[in-house]
Structure 1
């Protein structure tokens, strides 16, 4: 057999299993996504794109207080020098850093339309301008002092920082979110004042537990405010493990309108909820009558957020109304905590609160040591030059003579005064105006000051206690600049216990009125006001006619059994009015086209139903188990093959009467039937040909009744039924004379 590689071109080739090749390449891609795109660095809390944006803006000298520059210029600088990806992705990241409703402490000061809480997108980058904020400047303080490592950019033409010095714990202050390959992160914003206090405590007590740190860090502090109603025990567990969730609610208050009228005003909504979409959702709930106590919603927001909720009646309980809205809308959300970060810039890890703060503090110590060594080197170099200047002043006449007469004055001075090359070069470059007496005094003063600073730096580098004391002083300065006393630094999100509002049933919020439910053969349903008489004149579509007429109340719920064995729940309060022909019932329940309606009736709490298929199988179903919460209904009767649901009747007796299509009647005790929430059931009657026609329950002592062809009710007593009483699954005997020709009991 020929070798399949014979036809391949000659040259160096390697053969590798496809699974191995794919695995290695996918792993490389996954690691790149995790470390270079999705997960933030625990030290500065930034992803590469955000770090590059801030560094590029620093390079453009867009410091706080300077003039704004076009965002298109910034995006171009970032994309061309540091981040070779799409400009729209860079601009989206830049815009988010400027949105005060997304970022607790914005790092970019934007001018122009940067989007809003309604969900509107920012204007194009050619229309907007930006510069750095004070918080961003604090993150980059020390970059020029060798505070962090630098690396080559993507093409080696520039250098970029691996991490920023980070003057405050930005990871927790502004939070982060991202989805990588096989992992994700989601960290909420926090209050800088609380974070700094926790860091100061961790400096004093390095072994402090997460629980102790939570005495300082209360929990998330979202830029949009809101109220966290999560139990304190859950919050502690979330910060201890790095995983959990926080239940966040809108802030609301009752506004008195006088004369007993009132309305609810929402002034803060949950984090990352779009106000426009929220109002649309509440309006949909009103139209669908999902919150019957709510009449209207209005957006009266200007500079401040203001959503007005108008109750349907003054007697409505505001707390109950809001609880219903919290359950049905995004006025209440859950923020999932997943503190998955790059703990050392390379290794992803789900961290606790203590581990994240520890990573930040260790980074700050490393930054302090590097800046101190850098400054020490600068001082040593300056002192060397100053010593040379002093030698020149002490021997000024000789120095001038050497410069005027010697061909190589530098070498002569170095040999005569024992100067270094750097000192001699500095003396030769000295200006004549510097030879005055006052300049000598200034040099001596500068030398003494630098000498003292050098001694202090040497002491700092030699004492770990002094290093942590310096870091603590820096954190206190951060608290002063961004803490609760600074503009916008006060906590916005508050904590409350879950309100003790009793769970009020949906029906209790509906005004109770009598109605008549009319459902046609073709499945068009409507609710007529009042209880109509049996002979009331009703209109139907051409070719259609009446099927069900049920006298009910608006607080009732209807149960609908379809031939496929599914039970659907309909609220009478949500049924269309009776002015027209109604609406198709398939708009309210996901009823398949091939399924037909078997029964429609009012739900009775605590009641029981007799369910049976045309194959002759059935069981007793508790009505409470039949209720469905969704349009899809609930499967209650399992069917096989061509079998279809046939009977659904309330259980009102101790015996079951079954009649087949062969007109054979069987009576047996109801106790022989199983009671279950779902199933195929057990055999009710045995058939040689055909199947089940009808079934009903009754009290044997009162006899079995049916209507004869003349409309009269005929009752067969228990004694007369003796020959039809048997065991479940028997064949039965021919029905007594006078039994309806349609083989039905009702």
Structure 2
């Protein structure tokens, strides 16, 4: 089909332009209509629609509960055309007192718990509004905010809730949009009210000064905030940062001198069930041997008991270890990304968010006052008409009885408006009593006074600020409470915990097969019994040595990479063990040079098949990840041939090539490197390096004679083979093994 033949409804546009335009629409919809809260009421659309639907169902705090299914049905049918599961999940969160600092929904039934258990289905639970939610929606019928049509145009919903309650900061929010996210912790309403009053009195108050009123987040689950005042102030000033939150843990003394740790509050957002699983895994895997047991004795209050291995364990060491290894310490992010009054997303500081909320509350106050003034004017118009009717009651009755069009006659004779005349005609006979005239006069006087006060309020910013301060104080008295999260700065020490001290020290015998299968037998098995070990068919022993579970093992590969294995993490000695390549990322085609116990302060000799080598330290070979680290930079075609620890007192190097020429030179001629190619040990015309070792020149060079005799031979005078590093060398002493190996 040609472009000219396309239907008139088809738009011919580049694909990338059409895609970017539609993606932008989707992104903006996600940001403004789903994921980010509004700075004015702190709610996302789904939360606002949930509370609005419950209000229309008359689920106020004094009414009876109704099924959650009824609420969810109304929300997705009238206001929020999304899945029922997502709407019910949002409703459940509004009812959880461990998720919201000031819950907006009063739930009856199973709404989940701090252990991480899910809520019951919505057909089983019931709900109604809380007093906080009622406060948040106060003024919806007083012309305070605008309404907009629902998605199908059949009904209306408020664009925002006008109530005087700082819900954004009091309850916090979290959400992920397209290209941006928000994370706001909950705060204490009393502190927020005090900070708001301070900003009313002094709009130029700096963010740092607000810290005198808002000390930091106040989580519903309590806990301890351990950041410094400067760190918290910096986060609030920029709207971005994070807070370090710890569980509330006390050291409880027992009879007999023992003790245990008691966890009474856990960090916000941490599921107690998963936290206990974390601690139990540490015990089961012996990652924290100074901890013996964990017990959950919680009822309505959190009570988790942690038993140390013995009374001699340092409580602070155990606490610090638990903070590092479990979610007993977490970081809660702060990203105060919200929609402002113009529905524009942006990151605000604490001061900016409170200022924007106060500006909205002033707007609500003015809208409410103007709406009330208009209603008073309407009522005063009618009352004036009633008074005219009472003053001319006989004439009004005569007109009604005699005239065919009494309304027009009264309007002309008494200068009444259409509404006044209509109201007079609709009056009941009982309203004509003298007492009613007096009541109308009193009502008119009261309304006139109220109108004068409202006009003064609308015209005076000072009166508006005073009124808002008084309302904030009332709100604080009604909903304010004590802070739950304590703020205790903890200075992190520079010392690192020796995690090897956390591993229970036990002797093991490490066995590595030629095909790379590894295992660790308990205890120090006699090395002479290696012949009794069993291996898979076609496999055999490569190395066997003694170690401890606290040791780190160095595995050197032919490609120049080194890997670190923990002695406590090796597979057990039963069976054939496991392939070592399951523990580290060692390619299948790369051979293993050696496996040994490594200490940070030891020295090692490293040599490649092309005759280059260098000295290195044990610390340089320790790798932190499964991928290991590159130790030797090999030239093309070369591979690592020897990685050997230096014995104490060694002062020389003996190297022999495949050409059966041996060279001895001083150890001091080798450089010590953390990584590199090294220097030439021996020069070859053909072939490469066969073996290398270190020795004491004074003791000479020894080698095994072979056979079962176990005898060795020693060459004490090595002068014929002594030369500078990089020489060609000469034929070895008589009787040297034909394998060209020193061991």
Give me the TM-score of the superposition, normalised by structure 2. 0.93
**More displaced 10-residue stretch of structure 1: 663-672 or 389-398:** 663-672
**More displaced 10-residue stretch of structure 1: 630-639 or 166-175:** 630-639
Match of 2:621 in 1: 626
Of residues 441, 445, 455, the one that matches 2:452 is 455
1:650 aligns with 2:645: yes
1:230 aligns with 2:227: yes
Structure 1 residue 77: Cα displacement: 1.1
Structure 1 residue 87: Cα displacement: 1.6
Match of 1:524 in 2: 518
Deviation per residue, 1:682-717 (Å, 9 max, x gap): 443344444322222234454333333354343434
Q: Secondary structure at the match of 1:734?
A: coil
Question: In 2, are the aligned partners of 1:519 and 1:546 still within 8 Å (CA)?
Answer: yes
Distance 2:248 2:3 in 1: 75
Deviation per residue, 1:265-314 (Å, 9 max, x gap): 21211111122222222222222221121122222222111222221222
Judged with a 3 Å threshold, the aligned counterparts in structure 2 of structure 1 residues 596 and 276 are, in CA distance, closer, same or farther, namely farther
| 1:200-211 equivalent positions in 2, closer than 5 A | 200-211=197-208
**More displaced 10-residue stretch of structure 1: 223-232 or 613-622:** 613-622
1:675 aligns with 2:667: no
Aligned length: 737
Structure 1 residue 534: Cα displacement: 4.5
**More displaced 10-residue stretch of structure 1: 25-34 or 533-542:** 533-542
**More displaced 10-residue stretch of structure 1: 74-83 or 362-371:** 74-83
1:548 aligns with 2:543: yes
Judged with a 3 Å threshold, the aligned counterparts in structure 2 of structure 1 residues 585 and 260 are, in CA distance, closer, same or farther, namely farther
Q: Secondary structure at the match of 2:32?
A: helix
**More displaced 10-residue stretch of structure 1: 287-296 or 138-147:** 287-296
Judged with a 3 Å threshold, the aligned counterparts in structure 2 of structure 1 residues 541 and 31 are, in CA distance, closer, same or farther, namely same
Match of 2:427 in 1: 430
Match of 2:286 in 1: 289
| 1:168-567 equivalent positions in 2, closer than 5 A | 168-484=165-481, 489-498=482-491, 503-510=496-503, 512=505, 514-521=507-514, 523-529=517-523, 532=526, 534=528, 539-541=533-535, 543=537, 546-567=541-562
Deviation per residue, 1:197-244 (Å, 9 max, x gap): 110100011000000011111111111111111222211111111111
Question: In 2, are the aligned partners of 1:42 and 1:345 still within 8 Å (CA)?
Answer: no
Structure 1 residue 462: Cα displacement: 0.7
Deviation per residue, 1:58-110 (Å, 9 max, x gap): 11111112111111111111112111111211111111111111111111111
Distance 1:567 1:296 in 2: 37
Question: In 2, are the aligned partners of 1:109 and 1:133 still within 8 Å (CA)?
Answer: yes
Judged with a 3 Å threshold, the aligned counterparts in structure 2 of structure 1 residues 447 and 640 are, in CA distance, closer, same or farther, namely farther
Question: In 1, are the aligned partners of 2:287 and 2:502 still within 8 Å (CA)?
Answer: no
- Structure 1: state its 5+ residue gaps: none
Distance 1:86 1:291 in 2: 45
Deviation per residue, 1:233-256 (Å, 9 max, x gap): 211111111111111111111223
Question: In 2, are the aligned partners of 1:250 and 1:331 still within 8 Å (CA)?
Answer: yes
| 1:107-118 equivalent positions in 2, closer than 5 A | 107-118=104-115
- Structure 2: state its 5+ residue gaps: none
Of residues 599, 611, 621, the one that matches 1:616 is 611
Judged with a 3 Å threshold, the aligned counterparts in structure 2 of structure 1 residues 617 and 279 are, in CA distance, closer, same or farther, namely farther
Structure 1 residue 655: Cα displacement: 3.3
Question: In 2, are the aligned partners of 1:660 and 1:690 still within 8 Å (CA)?
Answer: yes
**More displaced 10-residue stretch of structure 1: 402-411 or 569-578:** 569-578
Structure 1 residue 127: Cα displacement: 1.4
Deviation per residue, 1:141-189 (Å, 9 max, x gap): 1111111111122122111111111412211111111111111111111
Of residues 700, 703, 710, the one that matches 1:703 is 700
Question: In 2, are the aligned partners of 1:227 and 1:496 still within 8 Å (CA)?
Answer: no
Question: In 1, are the aligned partners of 2:217 and 2:485 still within 8 Å (CA)?
Answer: no
Structure 1 residue 613: Cα displacement: 3.0
Distance 1:30 1:577 in 2: 53
**More displaced 10-residue stretch of structure 1: 626-635 or 165-174:** 626-635
**More displaced 10-residue stretch of structure 1: 511-520 or 227-236:** 511-520
Structure 1 residue 466: Cα displacement: 0.5
**More displaced 10-residue stretch of structure 1: 142-151 or 408-417:** 408-417
Deviation per residue, 1:577-598 (Å, 9 max, x gap): 6677666545544444444442
Judged with a 3 Å threshold, the aligned counterparts in structure 2 of structure 1 residues 459 and 258 are, in CA distance, closer, same or farther, namely same
Distance 2:284 2:610 in 1: 43
**More displaced 10-residue stretch of structure 1: 687-696 or 341-350:** 687-696
Aligned-pair RMSD on alpha carbons? 2.5
Distance 2:654 2:176 in 1: 62
**More displaced 10-residue stretch of structure 1: 591-600 or 42-51:** 591-600
Judged with a 3 Å threshold, the aligned counterparts in structure 2 of structure 1 residues 306 and 444 are, in CA distance, closer, same or farther, namely same
Give me the TM-score of the superposition, normalised by structure 1. 0.93
Structure 1 residue 123: Cα displacement: 1.4
Match of 2:632 in 1: 637
Question: In 1, are the aligned partners of 2:288 and 2:503 still within 8 Å (CA)?
Answer: no
Structure 1 residue 658: Cα displacement: 2.1
